Amino acid sequence: MGRFEELYEQLNDKEKAFFSEIVNRLLARTFLVFEREEDRRGYRFVERHLTLFQQYLDLARWDLFHDRQLAVIQLYNRDERNRRNFTIQETIFLFILRLLYDDKKRELRLTDQVFATGQEIQEKYFALGIRQRLPAREDLQRILRLFSRFSLLDLKRGHWKDPEALYLLYPSLLLVLNTADLQSLAEWLSEQAAWPEESDGGDEDELELDD
């Protein structure tokens, strides 16, 4: 542990306090995204002190990944502790956002930001052929706010409930759902076509994704 102690003691008191703040933020939110203004200062701090963070978190069996191409820092527990299991409804919307991100990114330059409207999210939902009606606006708001807490998107214009709302989608979506996850979800939707009409697709159900 000597290496960690040496690196930590090189920080001043203000940096030590910020180190603690960022560790707790990573444990609570999983991602730091450079593109996100709220995350940028923390992202840069971790980038400068990556070995310090990695050695500290390694003691509790956490791995810290720095994807320089996407400019995303991700925390992952080797024993899958503190893992957030999304409900089927949440997973479907995560899938939709990932599809929208991929579609739009192909049309943009490398450095362009990716935006999607509430209307586009709804249209993609209907395009998947899900027979169950679109969730209530309050449910959609809860889901999108949840994703915002994990640095997957941010509301940039309008209200969370409105089709006219504009969302900024972040590249962390590429890490929370990998290619295998996308394929599994696409196959599941193709086979199921929908939740049963009598089912509410509620919070009791969860969809497991492969790591």
CA distances to 143, 157, 159, 164, 189 from 138, rounded to whole Å, are 9, 17, 11, 15, 24
Instruction: Quote the percentage of the chain above a pLDDT of 70.
Output: 86
Span 153-175, pLDDT tens digits = 999 999 998 999 999 999 999 99
Instruction: Say if CB 151 and CB 29 are below 8 A apart.
Output: yes
Region 58-66: mean pLDDT is 94
Q: Tell me what pLDDT residue 135 has.
A: 84
Q: 210 falls in which pLDDT band (50, 70, 90)?
A: very low
Q: Which residue has the higher pLDDT, 210 or 105?
A: 105
pLDDT of residue 111 exceeding 90, the answer is no
What's at 206, amino acid-wise? E
Nearest residue to 174 (alpha-carbon basis) of 25, 54, 72, 50? 72
Nearest residue to 147 (alpha-carbon basis) of 29, 26, 43? 29
Cross-strand partners of 116:
167
Q: Tell me what pLDDT residue 204 has.
A: 42
Instruction: Say if CB 146 and CB 90 are below 8 A apart.
Output: yes
pLDDT of residue 201 exceeding 50, the answer is no
Q: Tell me what pLDDT residue 132 has.
A: 66
Given CA atoms 93, 94, 95, 99 in this order, what sign does their dihedral have? Answer: positive
- Give SS3 for 168: strand
What's at 89, amino acid-wise? Q
What is the token pair recorded at 144? 């999108």
- Among the ranges 1-10, 56-65, 103-112, 123-132, which has the highest mean pLDDT value? 56-65
pLDDT of residue 128 exceeding 50, the answer is yes
Q: Tell me what pLDDT residue 202 has.
A: 46
Neighbour tally for 157: CB within 10 Å: 12
pLDDT of residue 194 exceeding 50, the answer is no
What is the token pair recorded at 167? 């969302």
Q: Tell me what pLDDT residue 86 has.
A: 83
Rounded to two decimals, what is the model's pTM? 0.85
What is the token pair recorded at 70? 């996407």
Nearest residue to 165 (alpha-carbon basis) of 115, 117, 96? 117
Nearest residue to 23 (alpha-carbon basis) of 71, 34, 49, 3? 49
Least confident residue range of 6-20, 27-41, 128-142, 180-194: 180-194
Residues 6+ apart with CB under 8 A from 83: 77
Instruction: Say if CB 148 and CB 155 are below 8 A apart.
Output: yes
Mean model confidence pLDDT for the chain: 86
pLDDT of residue 199 exceeding 90, the answer is no
